[in-house]
Chains A and B, each alone.
Chain A
Amino acid sequence: MKSAIAILTVVAFASVPLWLRDPYLMNALITTGIFIIGAMSLNLLLGFTGQLSLGHIAFFGIGAYVSALTSLGFDVGLPFGFRIVHDPWPPIVGFVLAIVVAGLCGYLVGLLSFRVRGAYFVIVTISFAEVVRLVALNWVELTQGPLALTNIPSITIGLPGLGDLTLRTKLQNYYLVLAVAVVTYLLISRLVHSHFGRAMRGLMENETLAVSVGIDVTKTLTLAAVISAGIAGAAGSLYAHYIRIIDPEVFAFINTVTMVIMVITGGKGSLAGPVVGGMIFGLLPVFLRPIMAPEAQWIAYGGVLIGILFVLPRGIVPSLALRFAKPRKRIEPVTAVAFSERDVKEHA
């Protein structure tokens, strides 16, 4: 049943270019797709480990810059008279490096920031993203600062028997994004249904108990952070090679918030949640643009985020699933949820 819906969805998405010719809508779909990949990666942390990372755009941006710089080449001076000169490499190498570097950053950030929880964790992650933004803004020799990196080449892929194919058109990019999105979905799905995914869930639900059954908190969370950051880096790379220009504004906090809204609206901790939420918030601007000023749109988004949290705190997909699934026993929250800290600290 579930996989039937998934296959139908993929087929439906794949058929879109057959009947949709409007370049503006195609463009909106491609950027939406890229952001959905980002939102799926955020959901891995937010929905499956319960860690509210609000610096997620950093990994997306790092992926974008790494990929762009790999394919453009650069020549920067370093302290003590060192110099790095890099000649342009094919964009596809940039794509791979984007995943690797973003994943590595995810590892470092995870290692440092998982030592704190709750509000502190949120603030560390925001700070990390802002520091990266300021570096991108001020390290002009490498990043061109506010002048942006321009003329980023499109991705070229080698097809067996067909030679090299450079993805310049919207149609080609659409299928590239769709393919990466499907792979991402499958990867996250496999992960959360595996042994590792259960460890993440266990940590989210009851950390004390999870630890006592032998789950290594740091290792589990760091693993989730690495994979999540790597996927975000891949999305950033796709973005850079599609838009072909990036500036430090890619790191703006508002972009993280967009992904958070997508995840929360669709339903955190649900695989399809970010896809549903992402389609809504990715395409809403297309329909709102003729009738609302951009500021008014953002007021509406803020309002929707608040409204969803008040009315449908679980998000759209889980709420629908609950409606259509056969009725399960209600959870009585009295017994178990919130006492784990006390259990440890209280000394009889």
Chain B
Amino acid sequence: MMPAPAMALRVEKVAVHFGGLVALSDMNFTVGEGEIVSLIGPNGAGKTTAFNVVTGFLDPTRGAVSYRGTALNGLKPYQIADLGLARTFQRTSVFPNDTVYDNLLVGLHRQGRVNLLEAILGLPRARSSERRLRERASELVEWVGLERRARDLAGSLSYGEQRLVGVALALAAEPSMLLLDEPVSGMNASETHTFVELVRNIRDRGVTILLVEHDMPMVMSVSDRIVVLNYGRIIAEGPPDVIRNDPAVIEAYLGQGATRA
């Protein structure tokens, strides 16, 4: 038995079958508090499936996921969000018909719980809560560096900017752990660079991070530890330097793009 306190996320013996297709078989890994861990692997390796299991969007066929000692099995996504896990999405990271600022107000849902009557009657408690939310939304916009776009419709932003809104939305929930699903795909080099800084900055504020990403240089530069999946199975795990030189990984995955890493 490993000592539990330092563990944030624990994934144990998780398997996911879609009909006859095995998307994940027997996946085990942990993420420590304050760590940045990356989940990598070739297309179809099961990364996003793993992600969906952890965030409650998909029920595993077998196995268990727990966060800070609480079992996540059977919990709905919003309940998992309540436990402090927030995620971003590959494609749909924003509410497209709202401004960036309003996006964040929606994202601040968990912070703004007042009762219905207070909200409708505009009682002081509701109004002060509303004021707090607005301040917080501005802070978040600033944190991800989108001050200039705050009043634009989120759907009109560039791909990279939408990703930032997505991250800000996840941060709005004040998570203790953030799961990022291919956050830099579609970003150019300078955007990616800024993003890496942002990820470090988020971690420095005490948020644990699990990252699924294709961009090898980005993964290698930002991760504390890397978990490599192939065909739904973990084939290697360790710090970037070890992964870089692991023959099984090079064989299965980096074989095609190793020169870049």
Contact = CB atoms under 8 A, between A and B. Distances in A.
Interface string A322-335: 00000011111101
Contact of A335 (B76, B159, B169): B159
Nearest to A215: B109
A185 to B, nearest CB: 13
B119 A196 contact: yes
B69 interface: no
Contacts of A336: 91-94, 96, 154-155, 162
A348 B162 CA distance: 21
Contact of A212 (B23, B55, B98, B212): B55
B106 A208 contact: no
Interface string A181-221: 00000010011001110110110011011111111110000
Nearest to A190: B120
Contact of A206 (B57, B92, B173): B92
A214 B173 contact: yes
Nearest to A186: B120
Nearest to B23: A347
Interface of A: prevailing SS: helix
A208 B23 CA distance: 21
B155 A202 contact: no
Nearest to B77: A211
Interface string B83-112: 000110111111111100010011101101
B119 A331 contact: no
Contacts of B102: 198
A335 B162 contact: yes
Contacts of B121: 190
A2 interface: no
B92 A343 contact: yes
Interface in A309-348: 328-333, 335-337, 339-340, 342-344, 346-348
B209 to A, nearest CB: 16
A333 B155 CA distance: 7
Interface residues on A, range: 35 or more
Given A191-B119, A191-B120, A347-B46, A205 B110 contact: no
A223 interface: yes
A336 B88 CA distance: 13
B172 interface: yes
A218 to B, nearest CB: 9
B89 A212 contact: yes
Given A212-B86, A348-B43, A348-B46, A195 B119 contact: yes
Contacts of B77: 211-212
A331 B156 contact: yes
Nearest to B214: A348
B140 to A, nearest CB: 12
A331 B172 contact: no
Contacts of A215: 78, 106, 109
B81 interface: yes
B112 A335 contact: no
A190 B173 contact: no
B109 A346 contact: no
Contact of B97 (A205, A208, A223, A347): A205
B156 A329 contact: yes
A191 B98 CA distance: 17
B66 interface: no
A199 B103 CA distance: 10
Contacts of B48: 346-348
Given A195-B112, A215-B109, A348-B46, A340 B119 contact: no
B44 A348 contact: yes
Given A212-B81, A213-B172, A329-B153, A195 B94 contact: no
The 10 A-B pairs of least Cβ separation, nearest first, read: A194-B119, A347-B49, A214-B81, A202-B106, A348-B48, A329-B156, A214-B110, A205-B95, A331-B155, A336-B96
19 contacts: A190-B122, A194-B120, A195-B119, A196-B116, A198-B105, A201-B98, A209-B89, A209-B93, A209-B95, A212-B81, A215-B106, A216-B78, A337-B155, A343-B89, A347-B16, A347-B23, A347-B46, A348-B46, A348-B48
Given A206-B95, A347-B46, 7 more contacts: A190-B122, A195-B119, A213-B110, A213-B170, A340-B89, A344-B57, A346-B90
